[in-house]
């Protein structure tokens, strides 16, 4: 057996190995390296160099992103490197009902792409955050999402795939659970991201307790959460350096999830955001928020404080990184990914391949 053939088998064998040993395979989400503007080939090679088990290609900037020949090449290269691969698309909720057909068309294209790359899931999300949901109630948004999911049900089943619906600053965990159950767990599961719950006033541990049974992929992102004169401040920080309890989170993932890959996903360099919990208008976005869930979030904030590590705060939402800061941000993104991988291995016990002798 050639070395290339052996590496190709490793990617498919990771899930079986994890099932037999209780180990959880680990990778990185490539969005964390977005400022480097690496091609898919560079990202794949980087993951192999770090002796990871998997890669999540998110928001690829590769020129061949929508070239079927490129999809085939990515699948072959991931197999050669022994990497499990996951990928997908973006926002699916249209601004108005008239946009539903176009969103269905886009999602079908992402299913085609993900399937060709060898992914068993296709990422999707409702909106960038709660404030940017289209006009209407959460129930209306749920109905729109169900219409879109049901329209692509045949494609998903034929491909043996599921939608990984990202928990993305839009719904609270109980709302996401309700949507997944209504859609049917045979075609829709949770893309469980631990960084987004804090933006909807949830302790990530609580969100994991609710959604881990539905998880098809798990992404780890840390935060500092602390009290602020105007409310509660939240900020993403390198994995293991915030006040989120990741040992308990991974214990819950082990207990409640089956066959998932876990991805390190630090998104740092952004300033703190204050949730104005003392403003009555803010609560209008959350008309059915649960008091018991908010109390857990408040307790998390009371235990936290501002981030005191070194950080370049220049990754501003919707704005390009200033050229004068670009080199520093590129260095920081790679450094935070590698620090996160080390923490996940040493403290959380994640990953399989790195345990093997070189």
Low-confidence ranges of the chain (pLDDT < 70): 1-21, 357-358
Residue whose token pair is 């998903």? 156
Superfamily of 3-223+243-266+333-355 according to CATH? Divalent-metal-dependent TIM barrel enzymes (3.20.20.150)
Q: What angle do CA 146, 148, 149 make, to 5 degrees?
A: 65
What torsion do the CA atoms of 117, 352, 30, 141 make, to the nearest 10 degrees?
Answer: 70
Residue in 73, 72, 32 with CA at minimum distance from that of residue 52: 32
CB 238 within 8 A of CB 222: yes
Q: Is 182 helix (H, G, I), strand (E, B) or coil?
A: helix
According to the model, what pLDDT value does residue 58 have? 96
Which tokens is 186 given? Answer: 């045979």
Residue in 198, 191, 196, 184 with CA at minimum distance from that of residue 212: 191
Chain segment 119-152, per-residue pLDDT in tens: 999 999 999 999 999 999 999 999 999 999 999 9
Residue in 1, 55, 19, 23 with CA at minimum distance from that of residue 355: 23
According to the model, what pLDDT value does residue 62 have? 93
C-alpha distances in angstroms, 96 versus 80, 135, 167, 187, 192? 44, 8, 22, 25, 27
pTM: 0.92
């Amino acid at each position: 057996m050639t070395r290339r053939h052996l590496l190709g088998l490793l990617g498919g064998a990771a899930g079986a190995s994890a099932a037999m040993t209780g180990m959880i395979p680990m990778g990185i989400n490539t969005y964390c390296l977005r400022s480097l503007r690496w091609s898919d080939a560079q990202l794949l090679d980087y993951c192999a160099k770090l002796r990871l088990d998997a890669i999540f290609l998110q928001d690829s900037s590769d020129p061949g992103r929508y070239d079927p020949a490129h999809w085939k090449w990515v699948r072959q290269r991931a197999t050669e490197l022994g990497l499990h691969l996951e990928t997908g698309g973006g926002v699916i909720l249209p601004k108005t009902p008239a946009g539903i057909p176009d969103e269905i068309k886009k999602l079908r294209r992402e299913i085609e792409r993900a399937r060709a790359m060898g992914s068993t899931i296709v990422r999707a999300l409702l909106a960038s955050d709660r404030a940017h949901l289209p006009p209407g109630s959460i129930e209306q948004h749920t109905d729109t999402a169900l219409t879109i999911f049901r329209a692509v049900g045949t494609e998903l089943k034929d491909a043996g795939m599921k939608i990984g619906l990202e928990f993305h600053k839009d719904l609270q965990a109980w709302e996401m659970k309700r949507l997944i159950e209504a859609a049917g767990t045979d075609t829709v599961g949770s893309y469980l991201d631990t960084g987004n719950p804090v933006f909807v006033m949830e302790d990530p541990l609580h969100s994991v307790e609710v959604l881990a049974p539905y998880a098809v992929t798990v992404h780890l992102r840390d935060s500092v959460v602390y009290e602020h004169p105007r409310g509660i401040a939240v900020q993403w920080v390198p994995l293991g350096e915030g006040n989120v309890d990741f040992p308990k989170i991974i214990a819950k993932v082990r207990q409640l999830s089956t066959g998932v890959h876990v991805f390190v996903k630090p998104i740092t360099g952004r300033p703190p955001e204050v949730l104005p919990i003392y403003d009555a208008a803010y609560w209008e976005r959350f008309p059915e928020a649960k008091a018991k869930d908010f109390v857990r979030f408040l307790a998390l904030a009371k235990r936290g404080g501002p981030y005191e590590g070194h950080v370049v705060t220049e990754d501003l939402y919707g704005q390009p990184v200033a050229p004068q800061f670009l080199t520093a941000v590129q260095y920081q993104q790679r450094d935070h990914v590698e620090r996160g991988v080390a923490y996940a291995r040493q403290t959380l016990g994640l990953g399989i391949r790195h345990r093997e002798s070189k």
